């Protein structure tokens, strides 16, 4: 059962991302999906932090993870501002959060892909912000976007640390 997601959305993370990528402006339901995807971003970064042994790298990855959850909370605020209502489900009820073991998987190639997707994430958020008529909501989207770029910068620091 995927009761935590609005109907009509894929319960696969990559498909959900691709679908949102086709949106010029986010609907309230899109924002619910995006919030759930941000939480999945946290799960990824926390699993990545666990899979590296360098303490500074762990710290950078964990911080990204915490901010991804922060992005989800900002989206809840945006939904509220637009008159909608949404609460984050437990991770076990979030179809985009899957148990992850990233031991032995974290290398420069993967991290470079992540860095690029953070950059793309920022661009995406800015497009959605430009299309948003509620100024407070637009601001939230811009803030999330700017932090995605910072995540990418942290990820490239991790690449250096793991060299
Ligand atoms: Fe994010
Ligand atoms: Fe991010």
Range 73-95 burial, b when 16+ CB lie within 10 A, else e: ebbbebbeebeeebebbeeeebb
pLDDT (tens, 9 = 90+) of the chain, 163 residues, equals 445 788 999 999 999 999 999 999 999 999 999 999 999 999 999 999 999 999 999 999 999 999 999 999 999 999 999 999 999 999 999 999 999 999 999 999 999 999 999 999 999 999 999 999 999 999 999 999 999 999 999 999 999 999 9
Task: State the distance from the centre of ligand 1 to the C-alpha of 71, rounded, in angstroms.
Answer: 5
- Angstrom distance (rounded) from CA 107 to CA 64: 17
Q: Counting ligands in written order, which one lies closest to the CA of residue 60?
A: 2
pLDDT at 2: 45
Two tokens at 159? 């690449």
Question: CA–CA distance from 139 to each of 10, 64, 75, 129 (Å)?
Answer: 27, 20, 11, 7
Task: State the distance from the centre of ligand 1 to the C-alpha of 67, rounded, in angstroms.
Answer: 7
pTM above 0.85, yes or no: yes
Q: Which CATH architecture has domain 13-162?
A: Up-down Bundle (1.20)
Which residues have C-beta under 5 Å from ligand 1, the single-atom ion? 38, 68, 71
């Amino acid at each position: 059962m995927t009761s935590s997601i609005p109907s009509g959305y894929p319960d696969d993370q990559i498909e959900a991302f691709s679908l949102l990528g086709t949106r010029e402006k986010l609907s309230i339901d899109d924002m619910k999906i995006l919030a759930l995807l941000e939480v999945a971003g946290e799960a990824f970064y926390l699993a990545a932090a666990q899979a590296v042994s360098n303490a500074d790298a762990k710290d950078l990855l964990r911080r990204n993870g915490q901010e991804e959850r922060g992005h989800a909370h900002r989206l809840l605020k945006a939904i509220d501002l637009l008159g909608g209502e949404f609460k984050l489900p437990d991770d076990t009820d979030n179809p985009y959060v899957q148990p992850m073991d990233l031991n032995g998987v974290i290398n420069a190639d993967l991290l470079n892909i992540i860095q690029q997707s953070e950059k793309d994430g920022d661009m995406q958020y800015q497009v959605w912000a430009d299309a948003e008529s509620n100024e407070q909501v637009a601001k939230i989207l811009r803030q999330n976007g700017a932090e995605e770029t910072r995540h990418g910068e942290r990820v490239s620091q991790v690449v250096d640390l793991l060299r």
